């Protein structure tokens, strides 16, 4: 039989996988069962090429309340409160239909959070597109940002932070990763395992339609190609106002203690939600698809089971409390229907008008998907072409302005101003005020959250680049005074069946595991997005890291801007800058280096702790880690954020001036504050006092060897940083 006539191949299953399904069932699967297997055994749901690697990640810690395996992880933040959080991708849908792809990505991650009983309090996003020279990239950016803003603003959850990068390898496959946080009392957290044979399965929320059918297998488990437009029907359609009602309804049901377990419907719809609930409870479920409220008449049983229509939840309820559940749902104008029962059969049965339309042992569907060993091999030749050269000068004065105006470093204000960052009145630090977002807790403490990644650095060195990403996220928390409590991740890579991609993925996971152990930060959940490549090649390997931390006093949360004239400026940390793989190297059109410098993670951790403690004690008035663009860009950002100038001593740099100004690496912090307090830090971590904060509106001045100086007015720094992105995207 040809490939085009093989139903299992059309659904993304290999011949060997199909034979295994036949063996598990003892017969050929019917249409409903085959559709269900194709989704649950897809890469998106089964992690069949990554699950073995993920076992390396540390998942336990003193603050962990919920770890991997639930809808979202949760950590203890004191006072009987928990923060639930997770990050997930909606890359392929966003590449096909960016507005709805990004909007439903936000909706899905919010449901993950309130599915564990937590009220969503914040959203962050991590976005990557091709170069802005491309009309396609500008279109994807405009509509993805609009989708994120539409959903988050409409549902009343603030978007408090994120990141945005433009690189050629993301031209065909943009990355849209969304992270959400929620707050709950410990005893309000609920798990998703089905429990109690005889209990009732209730579906509530939006009606079920044909939107999203096949999304997990068609879009998220295969490379995109020229036929992307034909895949638009597989992209879900979101309704944030329906989700707002669903959110409040879910939380009231939990407040009243009416639910045994709760699960959201995301990828694979009823198939994944029901089978995973059954698997976690070690039980079976009967699902009557003829009872499912439909938006479109005439839907087949397999369509109902695999529909990815948004804004739906599935819960288990004791029979005596079903009427109460339905009454609460009616109060919130949320459709609710009893569609099944918990059984002790160990099977997921799909029934339609009393007839069995599908009957699958739950372990076969959820637990017995084959897991593959990768065949990693470091590529012998470069994978990615050198970027186009965009600067022709070595003049450091011009280079700083060029970097500030570059697409990757220009102000993100035109993007984040489309989001409401203040709704719910918890936001202590806005996106442009600090390196991490800070949110108030009820008792006066606060949490901090950041999301970070650097595809180009990981492409240079998957192991060290990933370690740098974890350190960068922890550094952002340190700059506001927060101690990290837990980490979530989204691993965005190309086709893992190719040896060079398998090598990137394997090395990256190893780096994340080592970095998390070195920092004592457990991984509480995450997502894997593979097959992110098109005809021109793979994306940069992009592990995105989201981290949540706690600080004891919201009022002492750190800021990045220089604050007071006459304060000393210090550089703290074991920073070893290098130009290869940096933003300057990109502007120069240089190819990626084969590797990054070694890292002393123990020394870097010590610097993080020193900076964090100094911020908490109020001994520094500003703290900013050195990241993209190097030290000079960091200085400019501190001056612009505070509206003040600075005088900084770079004498002695000599021939290493460009490297000292624009080199990148982990572990460098720019601090300002009283001179005695900063000088005292040298006893705890490498610290050099090398400048002083000038007055409001004054210049940034660097003193060089031989009495030479470099000088920039705040106006020209601001013009370089604030204008270009807005002009490029038409904001």
- Average pLDDT (389-403) is 97
Tokens 């680049």 found at: 465
Domain 559-731 in CATH 3.90.650.10? The answer is yes
- Residues 493, 452: Cα–Cα separation, whole Å: 16
Domain 1-41+191-369 in CATH 3.90.1150.10? The answer is no
pLDDT of residue 3: 46
Residue 230 has pLDDT above 60, yes or no: no
Burial string for 253-264 (b: 16+ CB within 10 Å, else e) reads bbeeebbbbbbb
Establish whether domains 1-41+191-369 and 52-189+425-557 are of one fold.
Answer: no
Mean residue pLDDT across the chain: 94
**Looking at the annotation, which residues are catalytic?**
44, 90
Question: Per-residue pLDDT tens for 674-709?
Answer: 999 999 999 999 999 999 999 999 999 999 999 999
Tokens 């810690």 found at: 61
Predicted model pTM:
0.94
Alpha helix positions (H), 195-239: none
Q: Which helix (H) or strand (E) holds 356?
A: strand 355-361
pLDDT of residue 344: 97
Residue 1 has pLDDT above 50, yes or no: no
The answer to whether the Cα torsion of 9, 12, 16, 17 is positive or negative is negative
CATH code of the region 52-189+425-557: 3.30.1330.10
- Residues 265, 94: Cα–Cα separation, whole Å: 19
Question: Per-residue pLDDT tens for 261-306?
Answer: 999 998 889 999 999 999 999 999 999 999 999 999 999 999 999 9
653-657 long-range contacts, CB within 8 A, separation 24+:
653/704, 653/705, 654/705, 657/396, 657/704
Three-state SS for 215? helix
The ranges assigned to domains in the chain are 1-41+191-369, 52-189+425-557, 559-731
């Amino acid at each position: 039989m040809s490939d085009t006539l093989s139903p299992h191949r059309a659904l993304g299953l290999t011949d060997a996988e199909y034979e295994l399904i036949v063996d598990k069932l003892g017969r050929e699967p019917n249409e409903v069962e085959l559709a269900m297997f194709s989704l649950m055994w897809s890469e998106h749901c089964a992690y069949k090429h990554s699950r073995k690697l993920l076992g390396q990640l540390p998942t336990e810690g003193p603050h962990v309340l919920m770890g991997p395996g639930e809808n979202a992880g949760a950590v203890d933040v004191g006072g009987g409160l928990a923060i639930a959080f997770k990050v997930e991708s909606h890359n392929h849908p966003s590449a096909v239909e960016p507005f709805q792809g990004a909007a439903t990505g936000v909706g899905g991650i919010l449901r993950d959070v309130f599915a564990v009983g937590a009220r969503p309090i914040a959203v962050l996003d991590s976005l990557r597109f091709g170069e802005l020279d491309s009309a396609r990239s500008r279109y994807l950016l405009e509509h993805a940002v609009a989708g994120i803003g539409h959903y988050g603003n409409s549902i009343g959850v603030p978007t408090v932070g994120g990141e945005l990068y433009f690189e050629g390898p993301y031209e065909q496959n943009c990355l849209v990763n969304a992270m959400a946080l929620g707050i709950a009392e410990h005893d309000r957290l609920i798990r998703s395992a089905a429990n109690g044979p005889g209990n009732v399965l209730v579906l509530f929320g939006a009606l079920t339609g044909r939107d999203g059918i096949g999304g997990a297998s068609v879009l998220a488990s295969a490379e995109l190609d020229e036929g992307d437009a034909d895949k638009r029907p597989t992209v879900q359609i979101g309704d944030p106002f329906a989700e707002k009602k669903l959110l409040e309804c879910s939380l009231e049901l939990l407040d009243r203690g009416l639910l045994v377990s709760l699960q959201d419907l995301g990828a694979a719809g009823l198939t994944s939600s029901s089978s995973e609930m059954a698997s976690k409870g070690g039980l079976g479920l009967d699902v009557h698809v003829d009872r499912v409220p439909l938006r479109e008449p005439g839907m087949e049983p397999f369509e109902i089971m695999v529909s990815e229509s948004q804004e739906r939840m599935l819960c288990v309820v004791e029979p005596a409390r079903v009427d109460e559940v339905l009454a609460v749902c009616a109060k919130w104008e949320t459709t609710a229907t009893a569609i099944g029962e918990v059984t002790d059969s160990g099977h997921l049965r799909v029934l339609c008008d009393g007839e069995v339309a599908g009957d699958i042992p739950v372990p076969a569907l959820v637990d017995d998907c084959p897991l593959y060993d990768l065949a990693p091999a470091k590529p012998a030749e470069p994978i990615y072409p050198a970027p186009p050269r965009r600067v022709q000068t070595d003049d450091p004065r011009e280079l700083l302005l060029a970097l500030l105006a570059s697409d990757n470093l220009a102000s993100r204000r035109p993007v984040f101003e489309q989001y409401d960052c203040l709704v719910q009145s918890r936001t202590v630090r806005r996106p442009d005020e600090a390196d991490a977002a800070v949110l108030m807790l009820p008792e006066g403490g606060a949490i901090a959250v950041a999301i970070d990644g650097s595809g180009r650095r990981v492409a240079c060195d998957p192991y060290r680049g990933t370690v740098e990403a974890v350190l960068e996220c922890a550094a952002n928390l340190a700059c506001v005074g927060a101690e990290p409590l837990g980490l979530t991740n989204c691993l965005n890579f190309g086709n893992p069946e190719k040896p060079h991609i398998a090598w990137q993925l394997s090395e990256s996971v190893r780096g994340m595991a080592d970095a998390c152990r070195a920092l004592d930060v457990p991984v509480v959940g995450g997502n894997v997005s593979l097959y992110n490549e098109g005809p021109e090649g793979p994306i940069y390997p992009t592990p995105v890291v989201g981290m949540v931390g706690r600080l004891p006093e919201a009022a002492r949360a750190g800021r990045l801007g220089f604050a007071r004239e006459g304060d000393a400026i210090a550089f703290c940390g074991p920073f070893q800058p290098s130009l290869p793989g940096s933003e300057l190297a990109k502007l120069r059109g240089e190819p990626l280096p084969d590797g990054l410098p070694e890292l002393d993670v123990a020394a870097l951790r010590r610097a993080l702790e020193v900076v964090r403690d100094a911020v908490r004690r109020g001994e520094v008035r500003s703290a900013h880690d050195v990241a993209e663009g190097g030290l000079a860009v960091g200085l400019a950002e501190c001056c612009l954020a505070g509206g003040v100038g600075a005088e900084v001593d770079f004498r002695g740099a000599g021939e290493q001036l460009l490297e000292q100004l624009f080199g990148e690496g982990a572990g460098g912090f720019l601090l300002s504050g009283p001179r005695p307090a900063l000088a005292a830090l040298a006893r705890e971590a490498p610290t050099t006092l090398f400048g002083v904060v000038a007055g409001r509106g004054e210049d940034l001045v660097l003193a060089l060897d031989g009495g030479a100086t470099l000088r920039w007015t705040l106006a020209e720094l601001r013009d370089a940083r604030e204008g270009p992105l807005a002009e490029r995207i038409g904001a």
